[in-house]
Structure 1
């Protein structure tokens, strides 16, 4: 699970204990467990995925009912459930659809679905954040780290700045340029914030940047706007860099890249050369 080893007791003991009272959380724990078993035993992935889907549906139904009246008591299991639901969404992304010859082929719409889930849960629980930060999950919000960037995120920032400099001279309409420029600046700030507040900044960026996305940017992605898709490619590099150490992110980067390439206008392909090169070959020069 994400977060430092100091928080492992929370996931292993506190969350299951809350699950005994709040069944939606127990179903969510079982859904994640099934997905992880499917990752460990790929030959049985379909069977585990079925079990995960059943528990996931029950968890979502229970969460929806509980979300109608958030209280100081139930906001904690809702936070845990939404965190695990987020992980579930990322872990199942590479297996959303079956393409030609049986290959899995998620689309940009599947990316948007994950982002909408992330944004929705964040918005719903934002009003309870002070209570959550003082409760059993308080260690999640008070991680003590020595601020230090990483070569990967330094490279992403460098290429994002290059993209931002080129954006005004592209053929994108002015509305798209303004929105994507704003979201690019936001991603750069998000990277700096993650670097200063967590020992795993790439994972923090991957999981939480979508919480900040504007509805205008989401609509640009729905419309397959080339500038918006190009920015998505750079974000996907950060996600891809976590795959070796984070089971629920595996397959995300390459599948997102394929989805972007399928929808990106040919005249914009040069703009995503570096993200594609990194995602296809982790040994390239940063």
Structure 2
């Protein structure tokens, strides 16, 4: 129009007005191929129609897009050491998130905590976003739990894994013992154990589904853990665990309680074996935290009651958590747990945990 030159395309389209209609790009509905040409011939700019459609579109949530981008380009690589599982977190996890809102909420929450860690000047802003997404995800997933099936079991399981990592990455509170809060067994552990009990019914679907590699790698790591425990020699770590076992045997007269404590030490010894036989870079978080899922419900109840023996055993767990603090989401947990445990022990039982304290380099505050 500016140069007073007729457009060949518009002329061709105008000649096709009488032909059958095409498909509208904006709406996907049938319309006349030459409608733009007709509007142009009437002095109407077709681009204005496109602009009107654009103005009616919902606004982009750039904040959430930023979180998803950060997860796919950075966070996903920090969650596992195994290359296959890194790819699973980068590709398969977001794909599940597109299908299930609660999974995407968990992904965005985890990414927000990662950014809070790497951008301290915006820490509170990202923590607030993380809490919002996590709360919304928990609300949705809780409603799904009674209706878990073959189709959604992978999404529910993945969300439980994300919830555990979120617990480790979230700001810590006084009195928080990771698996025990001030009001009892931690909410995440209750959720995780509940989900595991449910998904046992869908073992085959999970093994053959999108999360299959996660279960395959986990099974191999579990076998490695048992193998290392059977081969364990007279290492320094085992010597100190043996001393802890002796003092508990000498102080606990109730045979039932003694059995519970000894079983917990056996599980801890297995975790020690693999934690000290593997290079730190090759150590998976599951090698350490599997202890939390292998101990009995009775031991957890004793820990909830803050018995001195259960706390002393848990202090030794701090040593192996220290070995995976190269991950941003687990940094500081060993010192935090040791501090909480030390405050709960009397003077006699504080002597029981001198080696774990020295091994992680933790010292009580002056006068404690």
Deviation at 1:157, TM superposition (A): 3.6
Report matched runs for 1:8-47 at 5 Å.
8-47=86-125
CA 1:130–1:175: 2 relative to 1, 3 Å: same
CA 1:37–1:205: 2 relative to 1, 3 Å: same
Choose the corresponding residue for 2:167, options 89, 92, 103: 89
Report matched runs for 1:216-255 at 5 Å.
216-243=298-325, 245-255=326-336
Please say if residues 177 and 227 of structure 1, whose CA atoms lie closer than 8 Å, have aligned partners that are also in contact: no
2:252 aligned with 1:168: no
- Counterpart CA distance in 1 for 2:107 and 2:94 is 7
2:323 aligned with 1:260: no
Deviation at 1:74, TM superposition (A): 0.5
Report matched runs for 1:50-199 at 5 Å.
50-92=128-170, 95-97=171-173, 105-108=174-177, 109-110=180-181, 112-113=185-186, 114-143=188-217, 155-170=236-251, 173-190=254-271
Structure 2 unaligned segments of length 5 or more: list them: 1-78, 363-368
Length-normalised TM-score, structure 2 = 0.66
Please say if residues 72 and 131 of structure 1, whose CA atoms lie closer than 8 Å, have aligned partners that are also in contact: yes
For 1:174-216, what per-residue CA distance to the aligned partner results, in whole angstroms no more than 9, with x for missing partners? 44322111211122245557879xx844622333221122221
The residue matched to 2:147 in structure 1 has which SS? coil
- Counterpart CA distance in 2 for 1:234 and 1:6 is 31
Q: Which residue of 2 aligns with 1:284?
A: none
For 1:199-253, what per-residue CA distance to the aligned partner results, in whole angstroms no more than 9, with x for missing partners? 844622333221122221111111110110011111121112110x211111111
Deviation at 1:173, TM superposition (A): 4.9
Q: Quick check: 124-133 or 200-209, which moved more?
A: 200-209
Length-normalised TM-score, structure 1 = 0.83
Please say if residues 106 and 159 of structure 2, whose CA atoms lie closer than 8 Å, have aligned partners that are also in contact: yes
Deviation at 1:259, TM superposition (A): 0.5
Higher relative contact order (CA 8 A, sep 6+): 1
Give the CA RMSD over aligned residues: 3.0
Deviation at 1:11, TM superposition (A): 0.8
Deviation at 1:3, TM superposition (A): 4.1
- Counterpart CA distance in 1 for 2:129 and 2:208 is 34
Structure of higher CA gyration radius: 2
Q: Quick check: 176-185 or 202-211, which moved more?
A: 202-211
The residue matched to 1:139 in structure 2 has which SS? helix
CA 1:235–1:124: 2 relative to 1, 3 Å: farther
